[in-house]
Amino acid sequence: MNYFPQTAPKEFSRAPKSVKTSLLPILLCFSLIGCSETPPADQPTAVPAPATTEPVASVASKPDQQLKEVIDPIVTSAEYSRARWGIAVVSLPDGKLIYEHNGDDLFTPASNMKVYTTAVALDLLGSDYKWRTSVYSDTDPDGNGTVHGNLVLYGRGAPDLLSQSNKESINSLEELARQIAARGIKRIQGDVIGDESYFRGDNTGDGWQWNDLQWYFGAEASALTVNANTVELSITPASTTADQPKVVANDPDGYVQISNNLVSVDHADQIKLGVKRELSTNGVTVWGQYPTRVSGYGVSLSVSRPSLWAATIFARLLKSQGIVVDGIPKFHDSRVAEKDRFNTEGKKELANVVSQPLEQIVKATNKFSVNLYAELLLRTMGREKSAMLNEPSPSGRELGDDEKGTYLIRLWLTRHGVRVDGLAFHDGSGLSRLDLVKPSTTAQLLAAIRTSQAARPFRLSLPVAGTDGTLQSRLKETEGRIEAKTGTLTYDNSLSGYFAGSDGKYYAFSLICNDFTGPGSSIPLIDKLVGALDRHFNPSAPRQKTVSAPARP
């Protein structure tokens, strides 16, 4: 049976609350979802951005023998023998390698892949880049306010598009519907089409596991994304064993169809719960037993074909504005002949909204490890900056924008003196099991980005130890001195970022653990290594007692 797991196999936080629809009151968090999200701090202060613009020396080394004597005994001890470990530490701003342990070996990075994606996206697209979502028709409405033909809701990859506006954002379908009504439009004599054809290629990453796709962290990276392409299922217990527990979704349009096969059992019995969304459909089956008079349960699931979902929501919101829609919601993607793809040239833009700037999107991506955002960043790079690539598409097929994005990452690294031989990039988030990086390369990337225009926004996007994001409950003894991106897959953990020394110097590090088979998690072992680094470079710093989260990075 596909019982819902009780511990988190991966570190993939949901989108921040500012880009989520309101949860039902009964929705409770549980271990897989890891709902202890904390709003990002306005100004992390651990490591200031450098003033230098000197090039990074990617292969030079200047070993720190004292550091080696500190770290080697730890990483070669018995408790570290159940896994493969890779470590690289470089000094800044020169990028010289001062310590490494298997630093040139290949490792699965998990969410440390986001370090590559977000750094390069910030530098290539610019921190003020914004996404525009538009509504088009073939012609202007007539004098009676009628649009003759289809209404096209056209997405360009905005990660933070909502169905409803809130106090923080009007980048929403509700705002688009309001603008349509404000133009005096009263009727659509056609269909409402959700168009995601702006991105070419697949909406899921190369090498993603099929059983990840139903969960929020495996949401499709559609050019027309809304509400993070995620719905929340809430389970409410019954009062008596004769009644059935309730299962509802925050989906007023019924896009997700729920089959509730739960039965109620005595209050003293255990929860046994299975949840399954079939691939390529939005039919969700919930089964098992649920005790009476216990707390509710929440499940966060991805939706299939999010562009159709967006069109369905938009059609309802148009009707709520008093606009008559004659047709039905439909969707278009890029899997048609190029001549048949939607072309905005000559169309009438009736409404538009824009996203938050890229700097804020990257901050959410790294602070909370949002897979969907990283995948949309990768595809946006591929779509917007493909002219930088000289290689023609392989004969017989069209390159996807996700593939182009990975090529751009390799190109950026090469141009910044970072060796890419042996590396394998297959997605933007690190959910793919096919990604392979080296700790030395990751540390060199971190050194290189600090010499770019993206240095400050990138640094501010990283979780701060003991303070916020996925490091809020970790490395308390180093509070404020470590800024780093976490990563977790089953058997794999990683941590890469920056730390400051008491001598006024700054360092970049990458620490990756693969193939850890227990017991417990490798996170405490990673934190032990980072703590040793901090004590070596900050021997007199005040320290709090270290508390590492047992299941969540």
Q: How far apart are CA 481 and CA 460, in angstroms?
A: 13
Q: Which residues contact 22 (CB under 8 A, 6 or more apart)?
A: 164, 250
Q: How far apart are CA 186 and CA 326, in angstroms?
A: 11
What does the block give as tokens for 367? 């602070």
Closest CA to 236 of 292, 156, 179, 152: 292
Burial code (b: 16+ CB inside 10 Å, e: under 16) for 333-348 equals: bbeeeeeeebeeeebe
Closest CA to 193 of 374, 336, 405: 336
430 residue type, one letter: G
Q: Please check whether residue 439 is in contact with residue 108, taking contact to mean a CB–CB distance below 8 angstroms.
A: no
22 residue type, one letter: S
Q: Please check whether residue 339 is in contact with residue 112, taking contact to mean a CB–CB distance below 8 angstroms.
A: no
CATH number of 65-127+359-537: 3.40.710.10
- The answer to whether domain 1-37+130-356 has CATH 3.50.80.20 is yes
The pLDDT value recorded for residue 16 is 58
The pLDDT value recorded for residue 12 is 43
Q: What is the pTM of this model?
A: 0.89
The pLDDT value recorded for residue 30 is 33
Cα→Cα distances 194→29, 130, 329, 337, 441, Å: 31, 20, 7, 18, 40
Handedness of CA 322, 323, 326, 327 (dihedral sign): negative
The pLDDT value recorded for residue 485 is 98
What residue spans define the domains of the chain? 1-37+130-356, 65-127+359-537
The pLDDT value recorded for residue 461 is 98
Q: How far apart are CA 136 and CA 50, in angstroms?
A: 45
Q: Please check whether residue 299 is in contact with residue 180, taking contact to mean a CB–CB distance below 8 angstroms.
A: no
Q: Please check whether residue 312 is in contact with residue 255, taking contact to mean a CB–CB distance below 8 angstroms.
A: yes
Strands 482-489 and 492-500: antiparallel
Q: Which residues contact 134 (CB under 8 A, 6 or more apart)?
A: 153, 154, 156, 344, 349, 351, 352
How far does the chain reach from its first CA to its final CA, in angstroms? 28
Q: How far apart are CA 521 and CA 550, in angstroms?
A: 7
Q: Which residues contact 299 (CB under 8 A, 6 or more apart)?
A: 4, 33, 232, 233, 234, 235, 275, 286
- The partner residues of 299 in beta bridges, in order of sequence, read 233
Half-sphere exposure of 385 toward its Cβ, with a 13 Å CA cutoff? 25
- The DSSP annotation for 366-391 comes to HHHT-HHHHHHHHHHHHHHSGGG--S
- Three-state SS letters, 102-141: CCCCCECCHHHHHHHHHHHHHHHHCCCCCCEEEEEECCCC
The pLDDT value recorded for residue 533 is 96
Residues in the chain: 553
Burial class of residue 22, CB neighbours in 10 A (0-12, 13-18, 19+): exposed
What does the block give as tokens for 397? 């097929």
Stated as kind and residue range, the H or E segment containing 359 is: helix 358-368
Burial code (b: 16+ CB inside 10 Å, e: under 16) for 310-329 equals: bbbbbbbbbeeeebebeeeb
Mean pLDDT of successive 10-residue stretches along the chain, which has 553 residues: 34 49 33 34 33 44 92 96 97 95 98 98 98 97 97 98 96 98 98 98 96 97 98 96 97 97 96 95 97 94 98 98 98 92 95 98 98 98 95 78 98 96 98 98 98 97 97 93 97 97 94 94 97 93 56 39
DSSP 243: S
